[in-house]
Amino acid sequence: MRILVSDSLSNEGLDILKEHFTVDIHTGLSEDELVDKIKQYDALVIRSGTQVTQKIIEAADNLKVIGRAGVGVDNVDVDAATKKGIIVTNAPEGNMISAAEHTIAMMMAMSRNIPQANASLKAREWKRNKFTGIEVKGKTLGIIGLGRIGSEVSKRSLGLEMNLIGYDPFISEKRAVELGIKLTTVNEIAKVADYITVHTPLIKETKNIIDEEQFALMKPSVKIINCARGGIINEEALAKALEGGKIGGAALDVFVEEPPFNSPLLQFDNVIVTPHLGASTQEAQVNVAIDIAKEIVSVLTGGLAKNAINIPSIKPEAMAILAPYIRLSEIMGKIAGQLADGNYEKVEIAYNGEISGRDTRPLTVSALKGLLEMALGSGVNYVNAPTLAKSRKVAVVESKSESSEEYSSTMSIRLISSGLTKLVAGTVVGDESKIISVDEDKMDIFPAGRMIFAKHINKPNVIGPCCMVLGKNEINISGMQVGRSEIGGFTMMVLNVDSEVSAPILEEVRSIPGILNAKLVTL
């Protein structure tokens, strides 16, 4: 397999990749150059420099994974990658300490005018009064976004004896208490904080989260810090606030356009800037390079994507329990898909018993993959299965119940296609997938290879002729299961066969009196 590394990456990461794959390093490529090259590669490793556009992704016919050495994936068209079935993954933990330390460094540098004083003294000036600063002790810091980096900033700020307030709609009151932060609103932060720092991703909801309205509420002394992403704070509104002397200053590591050579923000004396250096430490660069290299090796050797952005990721401890159910759900999806007729309309996936208490998202994705593969072929994978279901208007409904009668955990797939319903239920025994019912028929089969599912009347002279048809066509039967029902009732027979069953042979089976339907299922 071949890996393209299109931004600089530490040797520690490159060495891991080289142990397993052929690695080409080409930095500074244009979009067209990448479009030309990308077909040859199985994985693309980037930092923030490469813009992975839809055009590049569309040309990436062999690409399986895009690995971002760092956190932000705003330079990747994740939707296009998802549609193409390409995993997008990142290395979110390796640089969080560096980014938090940079935030603190920016806050301190701004409070004590260090960059300005440094420039002044180097210009042979000695202006001690001009650069009188302020202490951070006892001041209120407002933190917007309390994830990895926001939390690390809060820990360090408590050490500086600051008062902390914060806003993050996705963290609990309990977590905020643990961090020593009083949760409040963005506008309240704007009103009362002496320092405001943002640590959210740049998404629709966070773009311009600090805008004219918030600047109007702020104290004239407030200092703003952005070491997350340009655009979370509206740059035009910030420039206006600085111009009108409405705020005390700003420290910026990131910009809407990088490099920000045309930005009016560079002209203010009370704005200090760094060229996107939050993660630029030796430690962070080694960490993210190693993390992303290991992730790429794992994905390309059939393992897990621990930090995938576009598929549910599973922690290794949870994986030990979920793995057999992931296999079961894919098999059940394949069986349901092959037993059904017509266009899929709705899939209801039910989890019962112990498994219902787990994160079942990977199981649902796996069931959809199995199901859609039957209609769409090998282009379906764990990444694009949910998107494909959505785009084909297949409704997916999950339900959970703690109770399960015969087994500790069971799951079922009810597939509604062209108004008809097919129901397949299964469980895991040891590590093996077992089908426990099809429609209303109880079964006891360990599915494998090719199987004929034949619905028939439970009476003499049905099973025998069926075996005769297969026998005379040299098809070996390696296993057989008949569902339980009273004599004369309808039930299901499953025959495991060792070779292909052609359409005419299947038709001959269907024509046997007492056989209501027969379908070949191939796993």
Binding site for ligand MLT (CB under 6 A): 47-48, 70-72, 95, 276, 278-279
Is residue 276 annotated as a catalytic residue, yes or no?
yes
CA atoms within 13 A on the CB side of 234: 14
Q: How far is the CB of 106 from ligand NAD (least distance, A)?
A: 10
The number of residues in the chain equals: 523
Q: How far is the CB of 105 from ligand NAD (least distance, A)?
A: 12
Nearer to ligand MLT (CB atom), residue 28 or residue 449 = 28
Q: How far apart are CA 149 and CA 522, in angstroms?
A: 49
The answer to whether 82 and 73 are in contact (CB under 8 A) is no
Q: Which tokens belong to 426?
A: 């299964």
Catalytic residue among 258, 283, 402, 432: 258
Residue window 84-123: x/- pattern of binding to ligand NAD, with contact defined by CB under 6 A: --------x--xx--x------------------------
Could you tell me which of 94, 117, 105, 70 has the C-alpha nearest to residue 225? 105
Q: Which residue is associated with the tokens 């070949």?
A: 520
The answer to whether 249 and 112 are in contact (CB under 8 A) is no
Q: How far apart are CA 492 and CA 515, in angstroms?
A: 10
- Assess 37 for contact with ligand NAD (CB under 6 A): no
The answer to whether 441 and 375 are in contact (CB under 8 A) is no
Question: Residues 185, 190, 191, 192: what is their CA dihedral angle, to the nearest 10 degrees?
Answer: 90
Q: How far is the CB of 405 from ligand NAD (least distance, A)?
A: 40
Binding at 84: pick from ligand MLT, ligand NAD, none (beta carbon under 5-8 Å per type): none
- Taking each helix axis from N to C end, the angle separating 463-472 and 503-510, rounded to the nearest 10 degrees, works out to 160
Is residue 199 annotated as a catalytic residue, yes or no?
no
Could you tell me which of 515, 412, 499, 386 has the C-alpha nearest to residue 450? 499
Among 37, 68, 83, 229, binds ligand NAD (CB under 6 A): 229
Catalytic residue among 276, 330, 373, 456: 276
Q: How far is the CB of 26 from ligand MLT (least distance, A)?
A: 18
Is residue 161 annotated as a catalytic residue, yes or no?
no
Binding at 146: pick from ligand NAD, ligand MLT, none (beta carbon under 5-8 Å per type): ligand NAD
Residue window 40-79: x/- pattern of binding to ligand NAD, with contact defined by CB under 6 A: -------------------------------xx-------
- Assess 146 for contact with ligand NAD (CB under 6 A): yes
Give 314's contacts (C-beta < 8 A, 6+ positions apart): 304, 322, 359, 362
Among 6, 50, 154, 200, binds ligand NAD (CB under 6 A): 200
Active site residue ranges = 229, 258, 276
- List contacts with ligand NAD (CB under 6 A): 71-72, 92, 95-96, 99, 144-150, 167-171, 199-202, 205-206, 227-229, 253-254, 276, 278-279
